[in-house]
Structure 1
């Protein structure tokens, strides 16, 4: 059995409070040890809990498995090693566990989509652990509360990374229970806030290396490192600097094209722009050297997939390279594959992609040729959607963002995530 690193004093306080509080919420920065902390408390409670049926969940069953069953080698399967087996119960995935108080059945469920609450009806759960709870649907969270009401020892666990202050989870879940706790100190809410400094498995040298990958003035530092609830607002790439992030053709390192890995990123549009960007990764800096852009509305001509494929082949030239494309452009992807182009579907995680682009920009590890005028103009005007932020939803304004999307595809897909300190 793997043994986790010692807990910090902050984590120990939360751990012991779990045994006499019914609702336990761990919020804070990434790599703050929240999953391991709750999993240890959850397993200890499960060992002697009187109920047989229990629940673990996440935005998807895969998330629940990764964060709770596996949990970097410290999950339920590790804690109950030799006493558990995976199977099904009522046609649902589960983990059967032999404990000191008999066999337990821990159902595994996704809760990210509307309608997922139907998957957990029909049972009363003794305990429930929902990972990344503020990524799940509001109706699913409510159903879990309802399904644990009659437990003889009710225990509900949530872990979450911070969102904007206006996110529905804070308004409808946490604020409500915090008010109840203030009214009655014996109500049973155990809240803990954790940062990466609470994770005792990270050495001081490793922590310094991780901190060096962040711009300390950015929203990502506030959230990922300090664990603060911060709204994404205003200009997205406020760290973009033409003096630091833009180069003129010929200023790139001599021999770059012969030693670096070449990519072409694509954002495919029908009525909107189609943008191609050529990029070279030298293992340290991502150099974006050329841009192709076709604006159907301005040109008053919509090109077919085959015409765009012709343009792509001309842009790529005789030296073939891997291509990263928006995964929704299925017909264009097929047109390129018929021509022998190696296509990778882009990682389209918008928020993580924006964070990674911001990281490279702030560290001067993303440089764009001044000839890529359309993309540079878009990066300088790319804004968060203020109206969406009012209801706790974070997304960019979908307008004049095609070059921004390609840059995000390249940084999110072509650059190994370890280079971001992840």
Structure 2
């Protein structure tokens, strides 16, 4: 980051966009191989919350669709504290239940899930996220949601490395919180790791196992960036 034409304010803003691996590469100019845990800045004690502040904007729900693999959906919103909060999660594992669900059943389950999400600071339940960001490979499920009149359905942005960098930056800049009930995320985040074999071939990707909550959260965060970006660049506010 030694371009003299860049203003100090712009340089500082760029530094805040990158953490860990990406900071070393894009700010310090050092090439570091992607290895180990993807989100090594994750701090369970600090980032998991039992009480969620008021949500000022329910930006979306990220959906990782699965028939044999788990189906995972995470709903998130912008809090009054100017953080992004992963508030609630729906997860269905057909292998454990010994029964697969159809797209129509998943559509109904997703709608019922949204209807039961607690609204922080109130005794009410039921949210209407602005976007439903669905795994882009799940074309039949997207079609089913359209048929059922679900609004805001979109194919999620599946730029994997950009999405991972964005999630990591939110963590590193203290802009992401996860409610304790979002168990899929909490179980997966500590073991979500880079694929060493792929790295040796010059490819960068995480290991594709036990990553369903990781994917649904990434879909949510990456796809709704235009909704939260400007707010989360402002100073943090007390949660009360």
TM over 0.5: yes
Query: Which secondary structure state, in structure 2, belongs to the residue aligned with residue 380 of structure 1?
Result: coil
Query: Which secondary structure state, in structure 2, belongs to the residue aligned with residue 260 of structure 1?
Result: strand
| Paired position in structure 2 for 1:269 | 66
1:285, 1:366 within 8 Å by CA — same for their partners in 2?
yes
**Larger Rg belongs to:** 1
Q: CA deviation at 1:405?
A: 0.4
2:59, 2:224 within 8 Å by CA — same for their partners in 1?
no
| Paired position in structure 1 for 2:10 | 206
Among 219, 231, 240, the residue aligned to 1:409: 219
Unaligned segments of structure 2, at least 5 residues? 116-125, 234-240
Q: CA deviation at 1:359?
A: 0.4
Among 166, 170, 173, the residue aligned to 1:360: 170
| Paired position in structure 1 for 2:22 | 220
> CA offsets per residue over residues 131-190 of structure 1, 9 Å max, x none?
xxxxxxxxxxxxxxxxxxxxxxxxxxxxxxxxxxxxxxxxxxxxxxxxxxxxxxxxxxxx
Q: CA deviation at 1:212?
A: 2.7
1:333, 1:343 within 8 Å by CA — same for their partners in 2?
yes
- Distance (whole Å) between structure 2 residues aligned to residue 271 and residue 307 of structure 1: 14
Change (3 A) 1:262 1:204: closer
Unaligned segments of structure 1, at least 5 residues? 1-195
Q: CA deviation at 1:308?
A: 0.6
Greater relative contact order structure (CA < 8 Å, 6+ sep) = 2
| Paired position in structure 2 for 1:370 | 180
- Distance (whole Å) between structure 2 residues aligned to residue 199 and residue 273 of structure 1: 50
> CA offsets per residue over residues 233-264 of structure 1, 9 Å max, x none?
0011110001221101xx222x32xx223421
Among 334, 358, 362, the residue aligned to 2:143: 334
Q: CA deviation at 1:319?
A: 4.3
1:265, 1:325 within 8 Å by CA — same for their partners in 2?
yes
> After the TM superposition, which parts of structure 1 deviate over 6 Å for at least 4 consecutive aligned residues?
none
1:239, 1:358 within 8 Å by CA — same for their partners in 2?
yes
| Paired position in structure 2 for 1:240 | 42
Structure (1/2) with the larger strand percentage: 1
TM-score by length of 1: 0.49
Q: CA deviation at 1:300?
A: 1.2
